[in-house]
Amino acid sequence: MAADDANASNAGGATNATVAESLELDELRTENADLRQRVTAAEAAIAELRVEALARRQEVRALVADLPVAMSRKTLLRQVATDVVHHPDKKGVVVRIVNKIRRKLRPTNRR
């Protein structure tokens, strides 16, 4: 009789384990489906961003094609100075210029 009780408790434990495994499998399947939907949405967003990036590249190429092929340094510096004078954030522009100059000079100062 004790053996029958042990077999019955093992069978009950086995069904509990099976139920727990099936519940875990269902949860994993649900999570997997959710992750697949997220991946699909992310892939769609990436594809959209790629299309936008290609469009921007084309715009930049069109702008570059309109630029003059050769420009003198004097003209370039004059345009830069004009842009700085008319820029709304003059202080920010000057700070960036100074930082760029420091970065360029840094390797020469280390020698």
Closest by Cα among 48, 68, 83, 41 to 56: 48
Strongest mean pLDDT among 29-33, 69-73, 83-87: 29-33
pLDDT attached to residue 10? 52
Q: How confident is the model at residue 35 (pLDDT cuts 50, 70, 90)?
A: very high
User: What pTM does this model have?
Assistant: 0.42
Mean pLDDT of 18-30: 90
Mean pLDDT of 45-49: 96
pLDDT attached to residue 76? 83
What six digits make up the tokens of 8? 């019955």
